[in-house]
Structure formats: C-alpha cells, structure tokens
Chain A
Amino acid sequence: MSNFDAASTGGTGDQMDANEVLVKERFDAAVGGTSPDVVSLVGGGLAAGRGMRRTRRLQGAVGLLAASAVVVGALTATGAIGHLFDSQGPASNDKGRLVQLEPATPRGLAAAVMAHTSGLGTLIGVGGTTQGHDGSETEMRDSITAELGYRTRTGVKVDLQVVASPHVDMWRRSVDCSSQAPGTCTQTRLSDGTRRVVLQTDAHGKAPSASGVFSGPHVIAVGILRDDAFVIVVETVVNSAQSPLDAGALQDIATDPTVGVSTTSALNAQGLRIQHFKRSLVQTSSSSSGSGTAPPPSASATPQSAGPPASTSTSVAPPS
C-alpha cells in the first residue's frame, strides 16, 4: 500500500491533513531537486520585459493617435453624417465604379484591409471590434476597429490597426495636428479635396530624421476624413527601423471606399471566413517571448477565397 493509500483510509480531518503533507512530499520529490538554468531564465525575463516595455510605449502612441484623433485636424467634411450605419446605397470608388455598400462588420473591415495587405507577409493575428456603443458622445462612438498582425519575410513584425468612425464632424472639431510634437504631424489636402493627416513617431514620441528615416520601432498613422467616415490606419513596426508600408500605402487603404464603416456584402461575407478572428484587439506585438500566448494562426487565417462569396445575401452576421 502506498503512503497515499494508508493516509487516505478513514477520511477524517486529521488524515486529510496527512494527505496534504503527502502531496507536498510528492511535489518535493518531483521538483524539489530541479535546477533550472537561472542565467537563461533571468536573461529571457529581461529580454521579455524590455520588449513589453517597448511595446507599451508604442501602444501608448497608438492610443494617443486613436483617442485624441491625433492625426486629424481641421478636416473638411461635406456635411454631418451621423447616420452612416443606416446608409446603404451606392458609393463610387476611386475608379468611378459604383459599389453597393452595406454596414461593415469588424470582420468585413478586416477583410477589406486584407485585400491591400496580402503580400505583406505571414498573417499572425487578426481581430476587430466595435466600440463606443454606450451612448456617450465621443469620437469613438459607433466606430469599428480591425487589427492585423504580420511578420514579413525579413522578420519585421508589424501591426496594422484600422479605425473607422462615422462621426466626421466630431472628429473635425476635436483634432488638431498642432498639438503633436514638432515634425511628427503633417496635414495635406488630396486631389479630391479631402484632408489627409500623417503622423510619424518613434517609440519616444519623436519625429523621424529629415529624410524620413527611423532608427528603430516606430508608428506611422494616416488619417483620412472622407465624406462618409473618418478612417485612420495605424502601422506599428515593432522590431525594425524599416516600414513595410509607407504612408502612401496606408493612404491607399484609408481612401478605399470599401474600408470604412460601410463595405461590400462580398467583403462582409469574406470576413466571416477569416479563421482565428479575435473579438478583442489582437495586439500581436505584445507577445514578447512567444510564451503565454496562443499559437499564431497559420497563413490560412486569410480568407479562403479571393473570389466572390457563394452567397451575396445582404444579411450581415453580428460581429464575432
């Protein structure tokens, strides 16, 4: 009879105490003599901590962008558009083609962004959410967010966060590029009259060099105040001075009429087929050591088909 058997017969309180002692003895026998590599553990912990701290700084910068509407200032809007979630009608894209739009889901928004980023590298995380349905009068009310994490072929980790908000007037009033650090924020007007604001900053909130070169991790955000929505695309480059997408590429995403609070039924349907879609934001870059996190979804996280969906039903699934 094992010690356990002997102690467990009877089942009185004192014997249970004896079992506790025996469990402790079994624990001690199993791991008491183990000698982990302390130098490796401490070194790994230090590296993980530095990575977490760097990522937090970057995320702080991203939060600054999204919350204070950083990027945008004095943007023109063609009128108050607070009802865009109800607006379902034709819109023209930049090629003059009419596109039937419907309210976008976070998955639909992600699918619309992925149409621009298929060549970026391996998708290591994707998610999205709706925000601000608490009735508060904030810029983030009714907004949709999608976030995609990629690892490029050269090992660069990059997060793309796309926020689309229908409350154009509110954004216009609240945003001012002049509050940003010198050299980090520029405002221009596109050929169609919409305003573009670009913010570029490193992890310490400083601007890139005069030639636009960063020395390390950085954030590039492009905000476009369109007539139907304010769309901001934020690129966070976690581990490199190189930017896989430049401001022009981010602008292409932000000006795409299917990227916003409305999109096509095909993209909404395509979004439903995205695997490993997280409800909360992915923040792929926050996993510093590869531990404590889910295994990254494989490349199959991309929509399974680039072609038209089997159904073109206008019904939209609730955000996952």
Chain B
Amino acid sequence: MSRAASREDAFSEFAAAVAPRLFRSALLMCGDWHLAEDLVQTTLGKLYVAWPRVERADAPEAYARGTLTKTFLSYKRVRRNAETPTMDVGDLAHVGPGADAGARLELFAALRTLEPVDRAIVVLRYWEDRSVTETARDVKMSEGAVRTRASRALARLRTELSDDSSDSRTASS
C-alpha cells in the first residue's frame, strides 16, 4: 500500500470515529443540521491537511474538537451580520430528523439567544465535558472569562428554557 493510501485510510478511520460526536457538537453550536454537516466536513478537511500533526497529538479527538470550535467561531465571525436572533419556530427542516425535533427546536432557540462564543463555551463545558482550561484554549479566552461567560450563559439558558416551558404550558392549558 502506498504511503498516500495508508495516510488516507488512517485518516478515514479516525474521521469515521469522531464524525458523529463532532456533528452533535456542531449541531448544538449552530442549530442547523445542514450547517452542522458543513462545519464537520470543513473541520475534517482541516484535519486531513494537518493529519501528520493530528496523528502525533496526545489527544487527536481533542484536537479535532478544538478545530471544530475554531471553525464554528470563524464562520460566525464572518457571518455575524447575517445572524438571526431567533430561529423560525415553524421551520423544523433545519434542525434535522427525529422524534424529538420539538425539544431540539426549543433548545436551539434558547441557544441562539447566546453569543456564538458563549454557545461554544456552553457546548464545550456541559456537553463535551471539557475543562475550563481546555475550553479557554479552544475559544482563545482567559479561564476567568470562560468561567464568567459560562455562568451567565447558563443562567440565560435557564431563563429561556423556563420561559419556553411556561409558554408551552400556557399554550396547552
């Protein structure tokens, strides 16, 4: 087997292993199924280019998650003018398939009230269980800033989701 083919096989094996987890994180960060797919593919592309370095990394998957976060934040920086404050609640197509699409939509709407970087912090801290130190490195902030922003974002989420729950109860009563 040629060196190039061997490299592609090794990368493909790694990519197949991490892609589902990257996708779920991307979906939480961006709230859009198709965009999450794009973000993951771009992330995998970057990992492919940097594959020798990824292979040598102590924690290749952590490297991959860091790359995804940077890709997401970079995308959001470019697109910040196009950012919509809330999701169109009637549009389920963008949140992807599944019986829990309603709950997903509710959560995504709450997450979209957060700044992109706060969304990334919340996902890294509470979904991926990354430490404050690791999260700070991925979002290029101080640990103190991450702690503060995570706390505020959590409070905001709590409020948003509670309001949504109240709205749901009101609507159903």
Contacts of A8 in B (CB 8 A): 158, 162
Residues A46 and B15 in contact, CB atoms below 8 Å apart: yes
- Asked if A310 is at the interface of the complex by the 8 Å CB criterion, the answer is no
Which chain B residues have a beta carbon within 8 Å of chain A's beta carbons? 8, 11-12, 15-16, 19-20, 23-24, 27-28, 35-49, 51, 71, 74-75, 78-79, 82, 96, 98, 100, 103-104, 107-108, 122-123, 125-127, 151, 154, 157-158, 161-162, 165
Is the beta-carbon distance between A42 and B154 smaller than 8 angstroms? no
Q: Is the CB of B11 within 8 A of A29?
A: no
CB of B45 within 8 A of CB of A34, answer no
| A319 CB–B CB distance under 8 Å | no
Contact with B46, one of A31, A35, A49 (Cβ below 8 angstroms): A49
**With A36-B19, A292-B39, A294-B79 as contacts: A52 and B127 at CB distance below 8 Å:** no
A289 sits at the interface (CB 8 A): yes
Which A residues fall within an 8 A CB radius of B? 2, 4-5, 7-8, 16, 19-20, 23-24, 26-27, 29-38, 40-42, 44-53, 56, 288-295
Closest 8 CB pairs of A and B: A45-B44, A49-B48, A48-B45, A291-B38, A44-B41, A2-B165, A49-B45, A36-B23
Task: Given A29-B103, A291-B41, decide whether A2 and B162 contact each other with a Cβ distance below 8 A.
Answer: yes
Q: With A5-B165, A292-B39 as given contacts, are A31 and B45 in contact (CB-CB < 8 Å)?
A: no
Closest Cβ of chain A to B2, distance in Å, is 15
Q: Is the CB of B45 within 8 A of A4?
A: no
Chain B: interface secondary structure? Answer: helix
B16 to chain A, nearest CB (A): 5
Tally the A-B contacts, defined by beta carbons under 8 Å.
Answer: 151
Q: A292–B19 contact, CB under 8 A?
A: no
Instruction: Decide: A24 and B39 in contact? CB cutoff 8 A.
Output: no
CB-defined contacts of B16 to chain A, threshold 8 Å: 38, 42
Q: Which residues of A lie under 8 Å from residue B35 when comparing CB positions?
A: 291
Instruction: Provide the residues of chain B in CB contact with A32, threshold 8 Å.
Output: 24
Whether A23 and B27, one on each chain, are in contact in the complex, defined by CB atoms closer than 8 angstroms, is no
A46: contacting residue among B11, B37, B108, B125, CB under 8 A: B11
Q: Are A50 and B48 in contact (CB under 8 A)?
A: yes
Contact A4 B41 (CB under 8 A): no
Known: A5-B165, A46-B12, A292-B75. A34 touches B41 (CB 8 A): no
